[in-house]
Every structure is written in structure tokens, then in C-alpha cells.
Amino acid sequence: MGLLDKLQTHIETKDTHKNESLQTRYYAASPNAIIQWLEELIQSKGQLVRRIDTNRGELSFIGEGWDGLVTIVQVDGGRTAVDFTLNREQRLGVDLAQIVADYYEALSQQFPLRAIGNKTVER
């Protein structure tokens, strides 16, 4: 990841992102379990949960100088997709990609990881 990546004021994860660390993660857990766990984790990090919409699978939150939206959708019986969208107003500031990496790492320690992007993870 280069300097220009660190200056991004908006990042979004997706299956086909060129940077594997920003590709969608799929976990073996229900959307509600992931939302509930993320809510507690976000609050424990001193960030503010603004809104949770379990019907849409969305959790919005605010950090210092940035805001985020997590979308959690069950795609089949054994996999739930987790995607992040993060924004900040200032060109310089916290590394948004690192925030995503930290959350994905925490999720992977809590729930079984099934896939990264379009690639299945060996169990």
C-alpha cells in the first residue's frame, strides 16, 4: 500500500478490490451475531454507534475524524458477507485501510472465516 492509498478520504471493500486486504470477508455466523458483536467492539474502542438497522444489515459508526458503515448480509446458509465503507473529511488523518484491516482481523478471531473476495479459505 503506497502513500496515495493512505491519503484516500474514502475507501470501500468489495469482492473484486485490487488490494486483498480490502476485499469482502465472509464468515460462518448469522448477520445478527456479527452486528451484535461489532456493536460491542466498536464501543469498546471508544467509537460511537450511530445507527443499527438489522433489517438492512447495516451498522453506522463514528471514529475520531472519520465515519463508517458496515454492511452485513447473509449470502447463503453458511456465509455472511461483511463490507466496510469509511470516510474522512481531511486528506491527512487516520489510515482508513488500517481500520478496516483491524476490524477484519478481530472478526476473523471471533468467527470462522469462509472466504476472502471470491476465494474460499481452507478450513
Residue 1 to residues 80, 95, 104, 109: CA-CA distances in angstroms?
27, 11, 17, 24
- The full length of the chain comes to 123
Q: How confident is the model at residue 110, as a pLDDT? A: 97
Report pLDDT digits (tens) over 91-117. 778 899 999 999 999 999 999 999 999
Q: What is the pTM of this model?
A: 0.92
Q: What is the mean pLDDT of residues 13-28?
A: 95
The residues with which 42 forms a beta bridge, in sequence order, are: none
